[in-house]
Structure 1
Amino acid sequence: MSTDNEFQRGSPQDTDDSLGADSLGESVLPAPPFENAMAGDLDTHQQWALEAMAAARTSYWRWSAPERSFLCGTIAERSDSDLLRLDWWTLLKTMPSAERRRLITLWRRMNDGQQNRVDVLIQPDATKPSIWWRIRGAITSRDDGASPLAATGTWEVLDDPRDQRPHGSVRAHAFAASRDSMLVVDNRWRILEINDAFTTLGGLPPSAILGRALQQYIDADVLRSDPATVARNDRIQHYEGLFHVEGAAPVPVELTLSHFTLDETGETHYIAALRDISARKRSERELEHLARIDTLTQLPNRATLQQTLNGRLLRLLPGHGLAVLFIDLDGFKHINDSLGHQSGDILLKIIVKRLRATVRSKDLVARWGGDEFVVVIEVGSDMELADRIAQRLLEALSHPMVIGGHQISVTASIGIVHAPQNGRDGETLLKHADVAMYAAKNRGKNAIVVYHEQLKHHSLEQMSMLAHLREAIAKDALDFVVQPKFDGNNRMIGAELLARWMTEDHGEVPPAVFVPLTENNGMASALGNLAIDRAAQYAARLAATGNPLPVSVNISALHVMDDKLADTLRSACQRHHITADQIELEVTESVFLEDTRLPEARIKHLRSQGFRVAMDDFGAGYSSLGYLKRLPFDTIKIDRSFMHGLEADRRSRDLLAGIVELCNLLGMETVAEGVETEEQWQLLQTLGVKQYQGFYLGRPMPVEQLLERLKGEL
């Protein structure tokens, strides 16, 4: 039953006694030791006391059990008729309900003998929020049952009490020297006090806020629970919400909650601290946008493509079809190598314009990576539409263009796959379209191939390469080199292990060719295990020379899902007598494209074993801030694509600086990949990057050469 109802019942315990309690507080004290010394001149000291009260503009009050009312007056009164007499109900009925409950709680403590003295600030009139009373005093006598018989003290009216509360008050607890917006709420989220920063944030005067529910101003899930439940957690939790300002856009805020107990009443209140996170939210939106688009071409990236493709497949009507075109530019690498990356970037932008101009506005054009693009076409019942569009694309892309004074022509190889005939999910369709595209290249390039089942089978050359690769892995015949990593002082701080494969029949096969072969043919774990053992061996050699630098090894998404990965890592460390922190695992965001949280659990388990984990190629196509929030990586490796045009592109610099700042806040190190010039290196340092990797600082090299270089640094 509410406190107000207790007063209305008129019980002496809950009404009259309640009032005495709220105004008073602690135990009755013995007479001071100098009391007898003053007795001889009592009249003089009484006169001094009256003069002091007059000077301080302080009035007195007295309460006694028989009358059960307050007598209030000043030293100017000459008779009882001049005194103001207040009973409990008269005093309480004009107060705000929160003040009434606070007063009742205080009286109950005093009535029960828990305290005798009081020093409290109350708001006596809900219609006059600027007027407060400061009440001090004590119970002067109790009966044999310890019930109060009499109490007396002083009271004064304050116009602006906020800076006059005692040390243990709400103000002292909540607002001391705080730059953040802060407010005090009760156990029903009603606002009791605010600070100046809160007023500035909301643009509202205190009179429009005090006494109202916090939910009227802030929309946050946490406010659906009661404050006691939220504040019960020992660790400070951060909650996000929207602060609604009349006539303006909502302000995103971060809210933290803590509790404290008022000394004079024992009542629990809650301090809510708010922080304007508008700037952070803007940065997150920009980074999320970056995570969904390709920065160079402004096309959707892989993650967006896969999400959109799966969504369209789900909405596909019966009898209607969808086609996926996988497009790879022929000869792009030669142009890029001969004319430079800047010319290559210009060429890609021109290609994107031609792609968009050729397909319909409702068709999706996305960049798969490098010089590869994907077009998703809703063909309805016209199964020939994709072929016609693909033919127009070949013609449009082959038109000559002039870049840097050079006339350039490129062609394309296009693979086509139809849904639902050749697959009902995005992953299958993209895989089949990729197979068809390679078949088009094998036909001499500048060609179109429509997927069919026979294309699943590899060509004789691919089969021969696969057999040799399987044998090379089994016999540990692959070569491994290391590429060093450096700090801002050009000091080596680690190295990345890279696999190399030299064959008699095919020459040197690049990792971009043989690594997918292992992943598509059940050898990803075998190759990864070989690399782990070699990384542990190299880490041991580095430590033996007095350089216990970590060696990082790339782990595929398939290997992460291998149940034996953790055991393999531990065995390698034991075999080569190194600690877990001398091995760093590099994974790409593709590992998190699974619909389950299992990859997360695997990564967290590896980190709990002491192995460092880095997110590789951040920003290359999949990147999402969600991965950073859910999984605290040790290191974020920023993809080399950010280096292209970094010096001239302010937007790229701002985005990179935002990524670095976010990683710093999350306690993650950042490594910039692909540093090829001194200008890039120096610019990256100004943007806050602390670690670097690239040809400018050090090319991939045999481990013996790395050890020699370390000797030269000593």
Structure 2
Amino acid sequence: MFVEYLKRFFLVNNQALRSHNSAFEKSALRIFLSFTLVVFAGLSIQSWLYCDMNESLCYAVLSTLSFGVLCALLYLSCTKTKLAAGGFCLLLFGIGLFFLFEESEVVAFKFGIVSLYSLPLIIRLFFSFRHALVASLLNIGTLLYSINLLNDNLVSLPFQVAILLNILVFGLLNVALPLAVSRVLYALEINAQHMQKMYHRLNRNNLLYEEIFEHTGTPTLLCDKRGRILRLNNQAGELLSAKNKKRLEGSSINKWLEPISDSVNRFFWQSNATECLLKSDSKMSIEVHRSQLTNHGHYVLHLQNTTHLKALTQELESTQLTNSRLSQLDLLTRLPNHFYFSKLVNERLKSQSNHFTGAMVIIKISQFKLLNKQYGKDKSNRIILNFAKSLQSRLSDQTILARLRGVKFACFLPLGQTYLIQRNLSTLINSALPSQLRIDGHQLNMDYQVGVVYLNNDESTAEDLLEHCEMALEYSTSADRIAYYDRELEHNLMEEHQIGLKLVQAIQNNEIDIWLQPQVHSDGQIRSFEALARWRTDDGGFVSPVVFIKIAEDLGLLPKLAENLLQELVSILAQWNDEHIQTPVAFNLAGQELMNDAFFALLMSLTAEHPWLGDMLELEITETSPVMTNPLIHKRLRALSSYGYSIAIDDFGTGQASLGQLVDIPANILKIDRRFVSPLPQDVRHIDIVKSTITLAKSLNMKVIAEGIETKDQATLLTSLGCDTLQGYYFGKPSPIEEWTENSHEKAKELRMVY
């Protein structure tokens, strides 16, 4: 162990004894040979000039022979380095022995000792440590011989001092210097290997970075602060229409691109994102995105050809304009529809003072079903059109008139003090309603039901006023066809308050159940389910989801309700996943839940616990909520989409949805609201709206689900229009989730939900 330690300490192990660089050996050998050659050349000349006795003649011959041998070794070193090195060591050994035994001359004796003592060091330079060690051991004989000669007073120093100096020279030249040279050679070798590894690593990294830069997937270039292009990949060269990349490298980016906005600084490449035009083709739009500033003060720019996106945006805007006209106006009468009417009324309410008075009126043509049956659809539509024109001509320009649906019309009337009396207002309404209409030369008597509500400056909205009108309309009779909203009906608000109190308790006790309604393909096979909330009261009855969901939203209970339902649904889905029932379930979310940090954190934690959840749970976004335009909602939806969730926009066309929302929300499913489906297939206007909506969705690579399908004709029409998935009572009513999970999920498995 101690010997091995010494080997490791002095670096004389097998690994350290590896041969070093041949170029170094050749260089060192030539230095030794050249220097020795010069010395012996001088010695030879000196000896022949003063050769006057036999001893001097011997030196002259020896030096001349040595000079010749050195010349031969120097020539041999060009091709046979090891052989030349061995010959040099033998020559040095022979000369050393010659002068060692030349006892008559002290200088020659010393030269011989030094030559022999230096031999291990020279051997170590060209051979392994073992060869040097053998030479050192042989020099022990030289040491003993020299000590023996010291007894003869060959030197003038004291005997003990001479011995010590001789041993010191022996140890220095035979042991210390070879070990030191070994250490130096080893260090040089290790350093050279390390440098070589660093070079290969640097070269490999450089090639890797070159490959990454070339295959980033996007046109990319590198420029300095002044916009001079330093590097670019092939995609950038092709995008900038340069036949030769070398033309681009070294040129200014201003030579190829021009920012569109004049307000943009001319150093546009220093901005995070800039829209530019290609100078060689002004029709091509290119967005320049600066991804980072490198350590060298350079900019990495990513280029994106947005020409196609601009064209698509213009096409989508045109489609939006068409859909807007279709969705805001009634196609038959050209009057505002329900949604647009509510919007106009709300704008009027916001713009008027607190002392503004008015009334909302809903007019229903009573006998229209009989007329439709008697005269047919076309003449019935002409009756509606003539009625709309007559009513519009009899009302003032300040009146907002709309066709809600079917034979229902709505009017918002600004009123003076005279008409705040119901009798006077009834007279005004009767005078505005045509008692007869002429159709094909025939007089047609008209009969109506009217519901009226006064505006009381209580921050009511158009939707509230229409709701009150609908309530009043229920109380109209043939004897008294004009019914006014009774303030006593406000006890319904108290009833809603009581429902709210019970709802709080029901949510705390987790008494809201999940029901499932199937969503099917055109062939009737179940594709997925929609999870619906149902609340059964203690008396066995049900509270309408429309009622308690709205109350929960008003009371801020939606996040807690959604949390309870979500946890229950995920537990069921976990069982389905174990049973290999791979049918997704759609879960409705409104803005209030998504804005709630605790609910969003719960949803993300469930995603982490169940990696398969993104495939089994679809998120339906109810876009009727105004908060759906909030940027935080968009950010969180993008995060959910990145985790694999399918995002569906529910009730499309009835609320906040727009093309801007379709861009901001990462949705891949579009649900057509039942209000657009219920008039099908008779209503051509709704067919056009549904058709354009499906076309829009397909252009955005979105799937389409139609809700509220109740007849086979509706299902057949929607399938022919390209609708992917169908949902409605025609295929199946909502049913408790227990029906699908009882008996080890027997019903689910019977319906081929297992894949």
TM, length-normalised to structure 1 = 0.53
What amino acid maps onto 1:417 in structure 2? L
Aligned residue among 526, 538, 553 for 1:492: 526
Any conservation in 1 of the 2:426–2:482 contact (CA below 8 Å)? no
Change (3 A) 1:458 1:576: farther
Matched, 1:364 2:400: yes
What amino acid maps onto 1:666 in structure 2? L
Any conservation in 2 of the 1:483–1:699 contact (CA below 8 Å)? yes
Structure number with higher helix proportion: 2
Any conservation in 1 of the 2:672–2:707 contact (CA below 8 Å)? yes
Give the drift of 1:636.
1.0
Give the drift of 1:412.
4.0
Partner of 1:689: 723
The within-5 A match list for 1:118-137 is none
What amino acid maps onto 2:360 in structure 1? L
What amino acid maps onto 1:699 in structure 2? K
Structure 1 runs not aligned, ≥5 long: 1-113, 115-166, 175-184, 191-213, 215-219, 245-252, 260-268
Partner of 2:268: 229
Partner of 1:288: 324
Partner of 1:613: 647
> d(CA) in 2 for partners of 1:422 and 1:221?
50
Aligned residue among 346, 360, 366 for 1:325: 360
Any conservation in 2 of the 1:293–1:300 contact (CA below 8 Å)? yes
What amino acid maps onto 1:477 in structure 2? E
Change (3 A) 1:475 1:171: closer
Change (3 A) 1:595 1:329: farther
Aligned residue among 380, 403, 411 for 2:449: 411
> d(CA) in 1 for partners of 2:571 and 2:328?
39
Any conservation in 2 of the 1:257–1:273 contact (CA below 8 Å)? no
Give the drift of 1:360.
2.9
What amino acid maps onto 1:625 in structure 2? L
Any conservation in 1 of the 2:641–2:666 contact (CA below 8 Å)? no
Say which SS state the counterpart of residue 286 (structure 1) adopts.
helix
Partner of 2:599: 565
Aligned residue among 635, 658, 667 for 1:633: 667
Any conservation in 1 of the 2:676–2:686 contact (CA below 8 Å)? yes
Partner of 1:429: 461
> d(CA) in 1 for partners of 2:284 and 2:435?
54
Aligned residue among 545, 555, 564 for 1:530: 564
Say which SS state the counterpart of residue 321 (structure 1) adopts.
coil
Any conservation in 1 of the 2:345–2:462 contact (CA below 8 Å)? no
Partner of 2:623: 589
What amino acid maps onto 1:527 in structure 2? L
TM, length-normalised to structure 2 = 0.50
Change (3 A) 1:675 1:297: farther
Give the drift of 1:591.
1.9
Any conservation in 1 of the 2:625–2:656 contact (CA below 8 Å)? no
Say which SS state the counterpart of residue 360 (structure 1) adopts.
coil
> d(CA) in 1 for partners of 2:543 and 2:436?
32
Partner of 1:181: none
Any conservation in 1 of the 2:363–2:408 contact (CA below 8 Å)? yes
Partner of 2:199: none
Matched, 1:700 2:729: no
Give the drift of 1:363.
1.8
Partner of 2:514: 480
What amino acid maps onto 1:289 in structure 2? R
Give the drift of 1:672.
1.8
Say which SS state the counterpart of residue 642 (structure 1) adopts.
helix
Aligned residue among 514, 524, 547 for 2:581: 547
Give the drift of 1:510.
3.0
Say which SS state the counterpart of residue 586 (structure 2) adopts.
strand
Change (3 A) 1:464 1:187: closer
Change (3 A) 1:519 1:308: same
The within-5 A match list for 1:21-420 is 187=254, 222=261, 225=264, 229=268, 255-256=285-286, 280-293=316-329, 299-301=335-337, 304-305=340-341, 307-313=343-349, 315-316=351-352, 321-323=356-358, 325=360, 327=362, 356=392, 359-366=395-402, 375-379=411-415, 384=420, 388=424, 393=429, 411-418=449-456
The superposition leaves residues 304-326 of structure 1 with CA deviations (integer Å, 9 ceiling, x where unpaired) of 4454345434543x686253526
> d(CA) in 1 for partners of 2:615 and 2:585?
9
Root-mean-square deviation (CA, aligned residues, Å) is 5.7
Any conservation in 2 of the 1:531–1:553 contact (CA below 8 Å)? no
> d(CA) in 2 for partners of 1:509 and 1:347?
41
Any conservation in 2 of the 1:482–1:495 contact (CA below 8 Å)? yes
Q: Between 365-374 and 598-607, report the one with greater CA deviation.
A: 365-374
Any conservation in 2 of the 1:482–1:497 contact (CA below 8 Å)? yes
Structure 2 runs not aligned, ≥5 long: 1-229, 231-237, 246-251, 290-302, 439-444
Any conservation in 1 of the 2:629–2:661 contact (CA below 8 Å)? no
Say which SS state the counterpart of residue 499 (structure 1) adopts.
strand
Change (3 A) 1:443 1:480: same
Partner of 2:96: none
> d(CA) in 1 for partners of 2:271 and 2:494?
67
Partner of 1:501: 535
Give the drift of 1:543.
2.2
What amino acid maps onto 2:579 in structure 1? T
Q: Between 222-231 and 645-654, report the one with greater CA deviation.
A: 222-231
Q: Between 669-678 and 649-658, report the one with greater CA deviation.
A: 649-658
Partner of 2:76: none
Partner of 1:14: none
Aligned residue among 552, 560, 573 for 1:518: 552
Rg: which structure is higher?
2
Partner of 1:48: none
Change (3 A) 1:548 1:470: same
> d(CA) in 2 for partners of 1:368 and 1:622?
19
Any conservation in 2 of the 1:386–1:416 contact (CA below 8 Å)? no
Partner of 2:705: 671
The superposition leaves residues 321-366 of structure 1 with CA deviations (integer Å, 9 ceiling, x where unpaired) of 253526496999999xx99xx99x9799678678646643432234
Change (3 A) 1:626 1:385: farther
Change (3 A) 1:272 1:287: closer
Aligned length: 483
Give the drift of 1:565.
2.4
Say which SS state the counterpart of residue 625 (structure 2) adopts.
helix
Change (3 A) 1:648 1:379: closer
Change (3 A) 1:704 1:170: closer
Change (3 A) 1:442 1:257: closer
What amino acid maps onto 1:510 in structure 2? S
What amino acid maps onto 2:751 in structure 1? G
Matched, 1:656 2:695: no
> d(CA) in 2 for partners of 1:577 and 1:434?
47
Partner of 2:174: none
Partner of 2:35: none
> d(CA) in 2 for partners of 1:709 and 1:304?
43
Change (3 A) 1:416 1:543: farther
Structure number with higher strand proportion: 1
Say which SS state the counterpart of residue 414 (structure 2) adopts.
strand
Any conservation in 1 of the 2:626–2:656 contact (CA below 8 Å)? no
Change (3 A) 1:439 1:675: closer
